[in-house]
Amino acid sequence: MRALTAKSKTYLAEIATLLRGETKTISAWSASWNAPRFLRHVGVIVLGAGLYGAAMGLWRDPQQALYVAIKFPLIILLTTLGNALINGMFAPLLGLSISFRQSFSAIVMSFTITAAILGAFSPLIAFMAWNAPDMAAKNFSGSTYNFILLAHVSAIALAGMTGNVRLFQLFAQLGGGNAVAFRVLFAWLAGNLFLGSQLSWILRPFIGSPTLPVEFLRKAVFHGNFFEAVLHSLRQIFQFN
């Protein structure tokens, strides 16, 4: 029992180091590969993003909560894997001399920070979902939906920004300087947003809709893409044909 407590204290201290952005320690971690530490970081992503996903889906249905708890970490992990190669190539091309393994480890650590923050917000989001009028209720209004959407956007934006700020600090510590760190971060961010958006589109729904059934994936999973949908919405807003 004591060993377990000591271990959990060590893990918590590791997460706290990441959150505090202690760049010297973090750059040392990224320089030397350590499989158990890497697995712990993946564990934080699964747990943190999973808890947040569950809280997000809870408003629609408990079954939806379970689905989103699986899908949310999946998006992060698939985005990391899908862009690992191109991100590893971008870093040296843009002036940051780090190995492929270091770049992969840096992205995982950045997402670990994001997931830890999301996990900490999950009780707040669950409390909000528990208090929100039922989606199918008569008194349900669009303003409630917009408020919940805004809360999710704020929480995810805060978590994402913090993860990226810490990544920027790490790049600067790794010898790139601020200009190089900014270039690499911008390139990685663009790639991750591009792939991440499409993965979210494929793995929809997340919050869910009262008029559509609760399901793990929509019927037309690969029908269209995120950017087509945005373009379609813009056309509708501005009445283009």
Are 94 and 186 within 8 A, CB to CB? no
Where in 93-122 is the site for other proteins (CB under 8 A)? Answer: 116-117, 119-122
CA distance 84 to 188: 10
C-alpha dihedral (117, 127, 133, 75), degrees to nearest 10: 30
Omega before residue 205 within 30° of 0, cis: yes
161 binds other proteins (CB under 8 A): no
Choice from 81, 93, 134, 157 touching other proteins (CB under 8 A): 134
153 binds other proteins (CB under 8 A): no
162 binds other proteins (CB under 8 A): yes
Choice from 124, 149, 157, 212 touching other proteins (CB under 8 A): 124
The residue (of 26 and 98) whose beta carbon lies closer to other proteins is: 26
Are 62 and 134 within 8 A, CB to CB? no
**Among the candidate windows 95-103, 137-145, 181-189, 209-217, which touches other proteins by CB under 8 A?**
137-145
For residue 207, give the DSSP letter.
Answer: S
Shortest distance, CB of residue 25 to other proteins, whole angstroms?
13
E strands of 98-215, at which residues?
none
CB-CB neighbours of 76 under 10 Å:
24
The residue (of 84 and 120) whose beta carbon lies closer to other proteins is: 120
Shortest distance, CB of residue 49 to other proteins, whole angstroms?
14
Choice from 130, 150, 153, 209 touching other proteins (CB under 8 A): 130
CA distance 147 to 54: 18
For helices 23-31 and 100-131, angle between their N-to-C axes, nearest 10 degrees: 120
**105 CB-near residues (< 8 Å, 6+ apart):** 29, 30, 33, 38
**Among the candidate windows 65-73, 132-140, 186-194, 206-214, which touches other proteins by CB under 8 A?**
132-140
For residue 134, give the DSSP letter.
Answer: P
Pull the structure tokens for residue 108. 């995982």
Choice from 66, 78, 84, 132 touching other proteins (CB under 8 A): 132
177 binds other proteins (CB under 8 A): no
Are 59 and 148 within 8 A, CB to CB? yes
Binding mask 7-46 for other proteins (x = CB under 8 A): -----x--xx--xxx-------------------------
Choice from 1, 4, 24, 139 touching other proteins (CB under 8 A): 139
Q: List residues binding other proteins (CB under 8 A).
A: 12, 15-16, 19-21, 116-117, 119-124, 127-128, 130-134, 137, 139, 144, 147, 162
